[in-house]
Structure 1
Amino acid sequence: MTLFHRLDEHHPLSGRLAMAVEYDGSAYCGWQRLKHAASVQASLETALSRVAGAPVKVHASGRTDSGVHATRQIVHFDPPAPRSQKAWVFGVNSNLPRDIAVRWVTEVAPDFHARFKALARRYRYVLLNQPSRPVLERANVTWCRDPLDAGAMHRAAQALVGEHDFSTFRAAGCQSKTPWRHLHFIEVHRHGPLVVIDVQGNAFLHHMIRNIAGALVTVGRGEQGEDYPARLLALRDRTLGDVTAPACGLHFVDSLYDEAWGLPAEPLGPNLLAFLGEWTGERPLPDCPMVEFRRGRPVAADA
């Protein structure tokens, strides 16, 4: 599978469009547009509107917090004017700040929705585990100078896989109507000085992954046993939880959709983990009601 594709500049795209966006979230209040601070959504909509010559509103696969990065944020929009693939990608990128970029754009069916058709979201939390502070990686890793036992962190994390009430791992100000989420998998691996927490689920609560990362680091340091995440989960009380890990180490790396939508496949980010060689969509999704429902398949009554 190649990383390079020639962008068409002769045929205007029509109908609903899907687009992948990558960004360094260090300078932004998060994805969602806010009145009091710079957001990724506002920057993207401004750039799209300049290329289209009319206002454009985008819908994203999910929101990211202040300081969190993304390598495959999927958005959709209905363009007010026809433009070629090359015009959308190059034109929008020329109007974006250097810490945001469009990766690709493609036509999709009119009933595609970046948020409501997503089957899963995937994040990677990257820790740099070494005595000296990071320099080249300082904006996109969390530094931990204490030795971490990645094996213990991985074993401890398995208690979180499945459908649970994640109240202990949600932010106090989380606006979700329910604390229940389904974690498809969570893995912790060491790659030299990098310790990577790789997690996928149907959706995530506010600060959920960063709170999980904070608890796992406590296990990795040897300050708590491997049963620690399970004990926290059972408490269902955020005030009894662990610290919230910094935002700089968190990367939104994938939104998964049914293959029928035809979205491009690409390697999972961030690029400093490219040596892992995993492409999007390679892992099977769990057989659960939400996935079947969003695929448009019948769901058994007892599910």
Structure 2
Amino acid sequence: PLTVLEDGPPDQLLALVPGRGAAQIGEERMVVLGRHGRGGWLGSLATGPNATLRWKLSLADEIELRDLVRLSPDGDTLLLVGGRRKQQSTPWSAVMERGDEPAHLVRQDDLTLVGVAAESSLRTIVDLGAAGFAALGSAGSGPGVEHEQLFVAGFDRSGKPTWSRVLDEVRAGAVLGVAAREGHALFLVSVPLIDIDDRGRPVQSVALIDLVPAVESDDEAEGKAAVVVTSRMLEGSESWTTAGFVDHRAEAIALYGQRPAGIVWRLVGVPESAPESAPDNTPEN
């Protein structure tokens, strides 16, 4: 059935997390995240024939929400990521609780990252189990910019930021997919090549970024994150883009391309290992 969200619905929906498995009518079916005006919007839809709105939370215009995860699979607490617009956009995260009280933010963090260009924001986040969470961000977007600097931020299981790293291995035009597999964070991004298409734009390819965070320390309380990053261009992906990973196991990637006869699709496997870095196909400024 069609559900219409009234009383300040979002202008655009960007992400969702499924419910906690409850089958009772009125229990949470999913939490959706979107944009309302210039600010962020969250809403919980209930199980039942009409998927009614259980609760909603609108954030200030300066907050740009991009993605969310549950801090625990069966819990009400969510970790939100995106950006905060001040003089310029900066990476931002927040922990949101929803219990017997109305939904509210219990923690907000503005991330200060060394070596990251201006106008930066976290784009997507993935749950890595005991290793916490990894969020991919981009910086330097703007008119005429075909590629962006990438960076990653790590969070512990409480939602607290713990580490960050600039990814010099590859520059990207868009984040296209994310998955977790055996403690690895897998990100799919579009990469502009040097070649130009018939419309005067850089030909796009697809790159896979494989990130593994680990804690190396004799004292767990003072551990430091060691992040291993590999990336590679997907073979045969020139002039293709992707709809993301086929399923949660991240065993295959769905590529598609626009051809004279219409849209064509093909599946490619996810490489088990990747070379140390992707080829330098970033166009010169």
More helix by share: 1
Q: Which has the higher contact order (CA 8 A, sep 6+)?
A: 1
TM-based fold match above 0.5: no
**Which of the five TM-score ranges fits, normalised by the shorter chain?**
under 0.3
User: Counting strand residues as a fraction of each chain, which structure ranks higher?
Assistant: 2
